[in-house]
Amino acid sequence: MKKIINYIANGQGIGLKYLALLALVLGIICGVATKMITTDAIPYAQQVADQLLPIKVIGGQIVEPEDTYKVVHIRYSDDDNFYPVPIVLDTTSDVLDINLLEQGVYITKSFLYLINENEARTYKLDGDFELEQKDYTDAFTSFINWTAFSVAIFVFAGLFVFYFLMTLLYSAVAAIIAALTKVNLDFNKKMRLSMVAFVTTLILFGILKFITGLNVGMWASVIVVVALQFYLIHLLKGFELPDASGVQTPQLPQDVVVKSSKESTSSAPKTVSRAKKKTVAQKKNVAAKTTKSSKKAASKSKAKGEVASEVVPAKKKGRKPKA
């Protein structure tokens, strides 16, 4: 729970990557389910092709087979009997009355009819083409793969947009709760908080439906999301939020702060004074050395001068007295 609260308080962004991840997982699941369900129908689609084909169209009309009325029958894998399905090839007629047709697929000489309980669609055959009678298993498999991929992309995009809008709506609810509880939250924090509450509710209800088959209503999920928002904001109220720079600074006791500040201010002059003393001592040593050397040079020169200035007494000329 601490990691979740820390993500809400100090995380980056508004949680879109987690919404996208959830939508992607559900989109992949829907795509895989579509492939599995439709793959089982490939043998039956091949039976339909074997009974309807070949078909040859010229100028927007079926010329082969001519004057044919055929209802497709399918034999299931565990049964030896054939059962009719609502797929009819009727080249004896050109136009049909859709009010008299039951649900199913009808192919006439010039039109294709798709009838269900809600609507009836009519398509005019166009151009020249021919559908041969052969094994279409590979073509059906490729079509199913592309269909499953399209379903996955469509579900991912739709759910991502839906989840983002719901999170944005719940962030407005989070703003009201934060104002009531006097917790300061910016837009990013409210979005992250709403994303956590919303995604958690979706996962919990999904697991509950998978295990028990219970389908929870929309209002129940809204109540759970708002309750989670109350709980998370209550936890955030006692959590230390970051400063304006985004860096969380720990709160130290006041006496420790005062002591550290005094130590820092007192240590600075001591350091400066020591440096000054050291510099002065170095200058004194240099001056003393200079003075000593100058004194020595002066004494040497003075001694030489004194020796040079001494007068040597002259010797008296004369004979030495005889003994």
Domain match, 233 and 156 both? yes
DSSP 79-111: -SSEEEEEEEEETT-S---GGG--SEEEE-SSE
Is 49 contained in some domain?
no
Indicate whether this model's pTM tops 0.85. no
Domain match, 125 and 153 both? no
Q: Residue 204: which of 193, 188, 220 has the closest Cα?
A: 220
Which residues are 212's β-sheet partners? none
In angstroms, the CA 45 to CA 58 distance is 25
Range of the domain at 66: 54-132
Is 41 contained in some domain?
no
3-state secondary structure of 231: helix
pLDDT at residue number 136 = 92
Domain match, 65 and 105 both? yes
pLDDT at residue number 57 = 94
Q: What is the pLDDT along the chain (323 residues), one digit of tens a residue?
A: 888 888 888 888 898 999 999 999 999 999 999 999 999 899 999 999 999 999 999 999 999 999 999 999 998 877 788 889 999 999 999 999 988 899 999 999 999 999 998 899 999 999 999 999 999 999 999 999 999 999 999 999 999 999 999 999 999 999 999 898 888 888 999 999 999 999 999 999 989 888 888 787 888 889 999 999 999 988 887 665 444 444 444 444 444 444 444 444 444 444 444 555 555 555 555 555 555 555 454 444 444 444 344 444 444 444 444 43
Which of 89, 111, 132 is the last residue in one of the domains? 132
In angstroms, the CA 71 to CA 66 distance is 15
Which of 110, 132, 154 is the last residue in one of the domains? 132
Which of 207, 237, 267 is the last residue in one of the domains? 237
In angstroms, the CA 225 to CA 234 distance is 14
Number of domains into which the chain is organized: 2
In angstroms, the CA 67 to CA 57 distance is 14
In angstroms, the CA 134 to CA 88 distance is 20
Domain match, 15 and 58 both? no
pLDDT at residue number 257 = 43
